[in-house]
Structure 1
């Protein structure tokens, strides 16, 4: 437990964290760049992906809040279900394991906020007490994830996807860190593909779910 707490503190406290290490650099605007970094007292690296896209903030927000489509684009996503929007959105996510490990699941509490400069943050962290452990799945004991959407000039946005996860159970370090290098690239490439669909490319505020915090966003 101490290791998990310290690892999460490292994620949210940059003064304590190792520097990000470039893993994959996109060749031009619109391509994904990814990073990893060591996390104190954890064998699993944190990871981050960044991409600039010709899209509206509303369209990106529509993709990352459409829970039923998560398996189409989020790395190894098997399924997702919105459990409640009371006070805070809580979702149950299931992930396909990569041999030799079992499938994983997690219940997340999401917080949606906007900064003074218009930047939107969707922050996810573990939530307890909303769904019992599921047969055939190992419950992820610690996950801290955020999407950051930053409006840019001329109809572009920057999307950052940053995660630390303790997958729980018996996971080889090489496999955990393979996930760290693949997850941000696959996920952001998947988000780009989703944005080509009319339901997201043409999304308006009325198409967004009524999540806590959504009503105060300036879009």
Structure 2
């Protein structure tokens, strides 16, 4: 049993290391206007993870206010139709969002649990975790089945913040490859661009 256990552990570690390596294999897909978008394959998924990075001339506090204005944030989130708070409890907030989608894709909606953590260096991390069964489905929308990601804000000198927005999504239902491939670039780029414009007004 000892040998079998060692083999099982070894195989498990190998799979874990392979998954980590694959998830970290980021390739730049777009670099424009000070916003860099990178994509990575995700083990077991046909959809790529995306990561957008930019520097915004605003403090972490200013960006936090824009983030925590859940209803108002819909104005700068890519293809957001409407957004609201479902629940707030002990530093966590549950949000519901409806998204526009191009024809012939059925519009999507999602429920997220957002957990905010403050770093000793003044940074702020907002973890995004999909909660697809938190509320019943809504007619006319397909529920996003999985969301795993984060926003990270790191202060860089006087009133400048490095912003990282990283997400992997399982959109649920059927999504044509051309739509999925466009979304993983457009979603982070357009979201960061709109956030940047709003914060730097």
Distance 1:77 1:36 in 2: 21
- Which blocks of at least 5 consecutive residues in structure 2 are unaligned? 1-15
Q: Deviations over 1:71-90 (max 9, x none)?
A: 31111111111011023210
Summarize deviations over 1:152-196 as a string: whole Å, max 9, x none.
113211011001001110101221111001111100001012214
* TM-score w.r.t. length of structure 1: 0.78
Partner of 1:25: 31
How do 1:1-150 residues align onto structure 2 when only pairs under 5 Å count?
14-15=20-21, 17-26=23-32, 31-87=34-90, 88-150=92-154
Measure, in 2, the Cα distance between the counterparts of 1:134 and 1:125.
19
Contact 1:103 1:137 in 2 (8 A): yes
Whole-Å Cα distance in 1 between the matches of residues 139 and 104 of structure 2? 18
Distance 1:39 1:101 in 2: 23
SS of 1:154 mapped into structure 2? coil
Residues 120 and 148 of structure 1 are in contact (CA less than 8 Å); yes or no, is this contact kept in structure 2? yes
CA contact (8 A) 1:70 1:79 kept: no
SS in 2 for 1:183: helix
Say how many residue pairs are matched.
183
Task: Quote the RMSD (CA, aligned, Å).
Answer: 1.7
TM-score scaled by length of structure 2: 0.85
Distance in structure 1 (CA, Å) of the matches to 2:24 and 2:119: 25
Structure 1 residues 105-163: Cα deviation after superposition (integer angstroms, max 9, x where no partner): 11111100022322210011112553210000000000112110000113211011001
Question: What stretches of structure 1 of length at least 5 have no aligned partner?
Answer: 1-9, 198-219
In 2 relative to 1, CA 158–26 (structure 1 residues): closer, same or farther, beyond 3 Å? Answer: same
